[in-house]
Chain A
Amino acid sequence: MDPNRPTSSSTRWLLFLTVALAAVATVAIAGLLINIFEHKQEAKTPFFQVVDLNDDIEDPAIWGKNFPMQYDLYLRTVDQKRTKYGGSEALPHSPTEGDPREIVTASKLEADPRLKEMWAGYAFSKDYREKRGHAYMLTDQTFTERQKVVKQPGTCLHCHASMVVAYRKLGNGDIFKGFQAIDRMPYFEARKLVTHPVACIDCHDPDSMQLRITRPAFIQAMRALKASQGTANYQVNTMATRQEMRSYVCGQCHVEYYFKGPEKELVYPWAKGLKLENIVAYYDEAKFKDWTHAETGADVLKAQHPEFETWNQGIHARSGVACADCHMPYLREGGLKISDHWVRSPLLNINRACQTCHRWPEQELKDRVEEIQTRFFDTRNLAMDALMDLIHDIKAAKAANLPDAELATARNFQRKAQFYIDFLVSENSMGFHADQYSVKSLAEAINFCRQGQLALRTKLTSR
């Protein structure tokens, strides 16, 4: 046997192994080099202009060619997720001729039948569902059962579709003229003029990408609000700060509103201020009612998603925190910092939305929010019960043939209580946007209900 053989064989193996390792190391280092190179490039190239944008381009997919990261996030508003009190799950729906939707959300009316009684005689008592993302705003409005119960005007589209191109076309470049024309049309005629839910063009200037206000009702309402605060002729697009605009673009639609006069012109009732008592005073002065309550005969009001007004009463607004700071917080894509266009509940995005300012673990922050919401939810239930008591008492008094004049005080209390409760229940944060204000307002609503009951009792006993 040759004593050298095994040694020579193991040398060869060692050599082979070293070559293999050196090769693997080279590949790994080259890979790292490329990765570092890419990271350095990411930090350098914030924007590629692929298409020229202008005010006639409505399709967000075209804007998305210049801003692919923002566009991809924007598309994700199709996701349906639940938080403890908000959001929704996707429920399958068998498409019918009148409603081709395959997925809907759960009915809120079934979950809380008191809502049906509060809205008795109004379309909302027929169909009212849990919320879902921006992607569904146009489809859900088109196919809600409410459309079958009442004839709606084109006004509704102001906040459920991308409107800039339609308004400009109809008004020959003037959005105010286009706005007035569409308000006067029946809904389904106006519906043919629009195709997309809210899109890039509704909040961004196509030349500079700066935020801008495109909704006539908001421009007019801000002018009225600022006038009541002592600033004459306020122009939101030239006078608002950048940080204000990061809330105002959302406030274009997440607000309380009504349709004024036979022209069905959209108006936000802010001429006396944004608080509940200011808004009720405005409606009382305008002698406005949304409908007559089917069970009590009271002239009542319907409140709608007043997130902007409610946020304005809270600590975040007071601290200068905008809607976008929590609902569209900054995120990093490589070396770039962009705002998250996947608009959603901050509870689904606590690291970016809350922890930028609040130095607490995610679970602790979530627990705090849910505690605030649970306290609101419990108070809301007390207020709903009080409202049911008042409605039942007015019904009984009507049945006992108490004349209208003697029912007037109680009915007026119902109008106020109902608007306060509806305002906070329709508001999409379960009390979080302004917790103390919301609970205080519910306490006032409970007081209105009980005062209404007392007013009836005096009338009934004095007979």
Chain B
Amino acid sequence: MKTNLAVIVLGVLLGAAFGLGVYTFVYARGYSYLSNDPQSCTNCHVMQENYDAWLKSSHRSVATCNDCHTPHGLVGKYATKATNGFFHSLAFTTGNFPDVIHIKSRNRNITEGACRGCHREITSAIVALHAAGEVSCVRCHFNVGHSAASYVISNR
């Protein structure tokens, strides 16, 4: 009898946690992060300017956020979404991030890879002449995707 009561309490609690979790997921539009829709990235307003700039950029009709900011393989893509999703949520929840945000080296390398994926015919000839990491596409073409500010030249 005692055990049964405990099981019921546990059931209610687990159910409450699960229900609240599902509600929070839906309320925060968590499902949208599984999609390719660029508007998902503006769920938190920090990305609004980048989104607005992308709408006016040369790449708007050929590439969405994910095409340049996640690897093109399925596993790499969702692994990147998961890692960035975690760190972005952490930063936005705690508020611990600078006003002018900058891409860091791991994500910059993903974007570099994306440039070279689509523009392979041109870049392979350039890359072949240089040692690994010697040339960078976005160092000069920093504004083809959106604004200039989110790319800072650094060694980080």
A binding-site residues for B, Cβ under 8 Å: 12, 15, 18-19, 22-23, 25-26, 29-30, 32-33, 35-37, 39, 43, 329-332, 334-335, 351-352, 355-357, 359-361
* Minimum Cβ distance to chain A for residue B106 (Å): 17
0 or 1 for each of B1-23: is its CB under 8 Å from A? (1 = yes): 00100110110011011001101
* Cα–Cα distance between A458 and B116 once the two chains are bound (Å): 73
Closest 4 CB pairs between A and B?
A: A22-B13, A26-B17, A25-B17, A33-B24
Chain B hits for A329, CB < 8 A: 99
Chain A hits for B133, CB < 8 A: none
Is B13 in contact with A26, judged by CB distance below 8 angstroms? yes
Is A33 in contact with B27, judged by CB distance below 8 angstroms? yes
Is B148 in contact with A330, judged by CB distance below 8 angstroms? no
Is A351 in contact with B100, judged by CB distance below 8 angstroms? yes
Chain A hits for B24, CB < 8 A: 29, 32-33, 36
Known: A26-B20, A39-B44, A357-B148; 12 extra A-B contacts, CB below 8 A, are: A15-B7, A19-B9, A22-B13, A22-B14, A23-B13, A29-B21, A330-B99, A335-B45, A351-B99, A351-B100, A357-B149, A360-B152
* Minimum Cβ distance to chain A for residue B141 (Å): 13
Is A356 in contact with B100, judged by CB distance below 8 angstroms? yes
Chain A hits for B102, CB < 8 A: 355
Instruction: From A29, A335, A355, give the contact of B152 (CB < 8 A).
Output: A355
Is A361 in contact with B99, judged by CB distance below 8 angstroms? no
* Cα–Cα distance between A361 and B98 once the two chains are bound (Å): 13
Question: Chain A interface mostly helix, strand, loop or mixed?
Answer: helix
Is A32 in contact with B93, judged by CB distance below 8 angstroms? yes
Instruction: From A18, A30, A43, A352, give the contact of B99 (CB < 8 A).
Output: A352
* Minimum Cβ distance to chain A for residue B139 (Å): 9
* Cα–Cα distance between A22 and B13 once the two chains are bound (Å): 6
* Minimum Cβ distance to chain A for residue B87 (Å): 15
* Cα–Cα distance between A132 and B94 once the two chains are bound (Å): 33
0 or 1 for each of B91-110: is its CB under 8 Å from A? (1 = yes): 01101001110100000000
Is B28 in the interface zone, CB < 8 Å from A? yes
* Minimum Cβ distance to chain A for residue B148 (Å): 6
Known A-B contacts A18-B10, A352-B99, A356-B100; A35 and B93 likewise in contact (beta carbons under 8 Å)? yes
